[in-house]
């Protein structure tokens, strides 16, 4: 087994891939909610990816990613036996679980890939987990078998009703709360706008909310400021203070604005560099 070697590669749908990678030192210390930063080659950009799982005995980590930018598209071209130039981690704070008895995890789109280790980690820790997985349509649905095995109750919704129930995740969440589910916490993982509305529902019902944020990162150590976000009026860094934050304290408007900073560059890369 070579360092950072791809040991298995599985397509979950046309756009989302699950890799198992040799990284014994990372696997030994990894906990749910933490992430790594990788480079495909020595000239590559550094991108953060939440670990979808790890096996400390085998010395492997699992990464699930959507091919949406330059590096993830390059990753798609790698095959079993290829190696990454470097992987740094585990980074970030593990998900806090102490004192929780029942939670609802709400995953939106590719955010479900990040929600999976979190929901499973909580379930494995003995917490009752209701999982709402939301997608645009049936072609984008992923990880249903894994969620079924790794949570207590699984709900599938799609925007167009081609799989599961036709509704948004927020509507399903309102339904579950109205049905009398007494959640200690609601965890949102997905596009910022979906997390914003999910956390607002939690707040409305007096339930604690946690948002698992993603951000542009460079060093992953709190030095570069690339992943800065505003939490309760204070500057925080997703890489060292997060990725989980109290959803009621996140400045969602600023976060949504920052997450669109490089959209032109990403579009250019998709159309010209990664073809």
Smallest gap from residue 123 Cβ to ligand FES (A): 29
Of 78 and 218, CB closest to ligand FES = 218
Q: Where are the beta strands (DSSP E) in 153-218?
A: 153-158, 165-166, 185-189, 208-212
DSSP assigned state of 4: T
224 binds ligand FES (CB under 6 A): yes
Task: Give bridge partners of residue 19 from the DSSP assignment.
Answer: 9, 63
Q: Is 259 helix (H, G, I), strand (E, B) or coil?
A: helix
Contacting residue, 114, 227, 229, 255, with ligand FES by CB under 6 A: 227
The C-alpha atoms of residue 222 and residue 82 are separated, in whole angstroms, by 30
Smallest gap from residue 240 Cβ to ligand FES (A): 6
In 3D space, the residue among 17, 75, 19 whose CA is nearest the CA of residue 46 turns out to be: 75
Smallest gap from residue 225 Cβ to ligand FES (A): 5
Rg (CA), the chain: 18
59 binds ligand FES (CB under 6 A): no
Question: Strand 165-166 to strand 153-158: parallel, antiparallel, or no bridges (unpaired)?
Answer: parallel
Of 105 and 255, CB closest to ligand FES = 255
222 binds ligand FES (CB under 6 A): yes
In 3D space, the residue among 212, 240, 208, 213 whose CA is nearest the CA of residue 224 turns out to be: 240
Draw the binding track, 182-221, toward ligand FES (x: CB under 6 A; -: no contact): -----------------------------------xxxx-
Residue 273 has φ and ψ, to the nearest 5°, of: -85, -40
Of 83 and 218, CB closest to ligand FES = 218
Residues placed in the known binding site:
224, 227, 239
Smallest gap from residue 49 Cβ to ligand FES (A): 13
Smallest gap from residue 180 Cβ to ligand FES (A): 41
DSSP assigned state of 250: B
88 binds ligand FES (CB under 6 A): no
List interacting residues with ligand FES (CB under 6 A): 217-220, 222-227, 237, 239
């Amino acid at each position: 087994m070579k360092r950072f070697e791809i040991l298995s590669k599985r397509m979950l749908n046309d756009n989302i891939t699950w890799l198992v990678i040799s990284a014994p030192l990372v696997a030994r210390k990894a906990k749910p909610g933490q992430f790594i930063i990788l480079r495909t080659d020595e000239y590559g950009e550094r991108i953060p990816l939440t670990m979808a799982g790890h096996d400390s005995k085998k010395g492997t980590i699992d990464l699930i990613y959507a091919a949406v930018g330059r590096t993830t598209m390059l990753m798609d071209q790698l095959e079993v036996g290829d190696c990454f130039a470097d992987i740094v981690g585990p980074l970030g704070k593990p998900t806090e679980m102490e004192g929780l008895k029942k939670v609802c995890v709400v995953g939106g789109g590719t955010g479900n890939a990040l929600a999976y280790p979190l929901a499973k980690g909580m379930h494995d820790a003995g917490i009752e987990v209701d999982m709402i997985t939301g997608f645009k349509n049936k072609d984008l649905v992923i990880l249903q078998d894994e969620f079924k095995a790794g949570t207590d109750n699984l709900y599938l919704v799609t925007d167009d009703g081609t799989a599961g129930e036709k509704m948004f995740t927020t509507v399903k969440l309102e339904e579950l709360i109205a049905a009398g589910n007494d959640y200690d916490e609601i965890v949102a993982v997905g596009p910022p706008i979906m997390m914003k509305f999910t956390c607002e529902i939690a707040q409305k019902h007096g339930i604690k909310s946690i948002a698992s944020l993603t951000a542009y990162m460079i060093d992953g150590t709190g030095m570069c400021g690339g992943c800065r976000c505003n939490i309760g009026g204070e500057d925080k860094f997703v890489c060292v203070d997060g990725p989980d934050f109290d959803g009621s304290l996140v400045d969602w408007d600023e976060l949504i604005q920052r997450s669109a900073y490089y959209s032109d560059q990403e579009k250019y890369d998709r159309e010209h560099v990664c073809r």
